[in-house]
Amino acid sequence: MKIADVETPALLIDLDRAEANMKRAQDYADAHDLPLRPHIKTHRLPRFAKAQITLGARGITCQKLGEAEVMADAGIADILVTYNILGTAKLDRLADLHARIRIAVVADNAPVIEGYQARFDDPDHPLGVMVECDTGAGRNGVQTPEEALVLARMIDAAPGLRFLGLMTYPPRDDRVGARLAGMKEAIEADGIAVREISSGGSPGLYSAHETAGITEYRPGTYIYSDRMQVAAGLGTLEDCALSVLATVVSRPTAERAVLDAGSKALAADLSALPGHGHVMGHPDAVLTGLSEEHAVVDISACKDFPAIGEKVRIVPNHACVVTNLFDSARMIRGSGVEETVRIAARGCSQ
């Protein structure tokens, strides 16, 4: 099947580009002896998780247990879930995963660790736990070395838990390394080993080696890239492997075209970018507005633009949220569709 024959809106993944992006990242990681643990929330596909591991990744990262369950079912055997797991039902699911694969989790507060302590009590098969640190991103994470130490002690003292080290989702900020070093120092001064320091984020991928002390890196979006990554300096639009195929459904005025891909296909993440996506081959087109099933495109600066009924491809602002909006993806090479793949970990937010 040709791309031009695919019904719209549709999610397209360019295999050549995705494979090149994976290889480039692994080559970089190998050159700097920095293990990768890719975050699967960009692709949500077991096949790419396996490809990342085959290339050399030490394991994968999931944000939620539901994603980890999909990946474990597909045969992935080493998963870090970078989320505080709370409540009996989720702890039971975590225990099920712990019984069959190598899984680790994080904690940034005492109640979460108390839950792990209560559920995991086997010193011969302890659950690995990292302390999540806020290194400036302002989301989860302990704020100070003192807080990190309190949690590390709790984990270290629990027979069924094993303190692995520190985890952060960092901002792009030169002070991240110093903040992590301060937390590590406080913990090691107490006699507790900080075996791992895990950092992540695709914008900082190719400078990850510059942060001293990092022992693994968790890039996610790098496999597909998107407009946000390009704006942040990760490659060019020609590296973007994910696009949304859309049909021009209306040309109401000389300046306006309307596409059949709205926020249900492209997501409304605007970030600080001009417009909601890049129309491939028409760089002067601006996606000025999205409603759920329509994209309004300002084509006033375009020399030409496809006619009603013709199709265009759009590189979205944020690839990860887009893969959560489609039940399946079309795997393409060149102008042909190789396969249609169900997005197995779509929607797994629990």
Site residues (vs its own copies, CB under 8 A):
7-10, 41, 63-64, 83-84, 86-87, 89-90, 108-109, 111-112, 115, 134, 138-143, 247, 249-253, 256, 258, 260-261, 263-265, 267-269, 289, 291-294, 296, 307-309, 320-321, 324-327, 347, 349-350
Contact 213, 180 (CB under 8 A): yes
Q: Which is nearer to its own copies, 266 or 279 (CB)?
A: 266
Q: For residues 29-48, b (16+ Cβ closer than 10 Å) or e, as one string? A: beeeebbbbbbbbbbbbbeb
Give the shortest CB-273-to-its own copies separation in angstroms.
13
Give the shortest CB-23-to-its own copies separation in angstroms.
26
Q: Which is nearer to its own copies, 108 or 226 (CB)?
A: 108
Q: Which is nearer to its own copies, 28 or 169 (CB)?
A: 169
Give the shortest CB-88-to-its own copies separation in angstroms.
10
Give the shortest CB-30-to-its own copies separation in angstroms.
29
Q: Which is nearer to its own copies, 162 or 251 (CB)?
A: 251
Q: Which is nearer to its own copies, 161 or 265 (CB)?
A: 265
> What does DSSP say about strands 60-62 and 311-316: parallel, antiparallel, or unpaired?
unpaired
Contact 37, 218 (CB under 8 A): yes
Compute the distance between CA of residue 23 and CA of residue 320 in angstroms, rounded to an integer. Answer: 19
Give the shortest CB-107-to-its own copies separation in angstroms.
9
Give the shortest CB-56-to-its own copies separation in angstroms.
26
Give the shortest CB-115-to-its own copies separation in angstroms.
8
Give the shortest CB-92-to-its own copies separation in angstroms.
11
Q: Which is nearer to its own copies, 115 or 203 (CB)?
A: 115
Q: Which is nearer to its own copies, 63 or 198 (CB)?
A: 63
Q: Which is nearer to its own copies, 89 or 193 (CB)?
A: 89
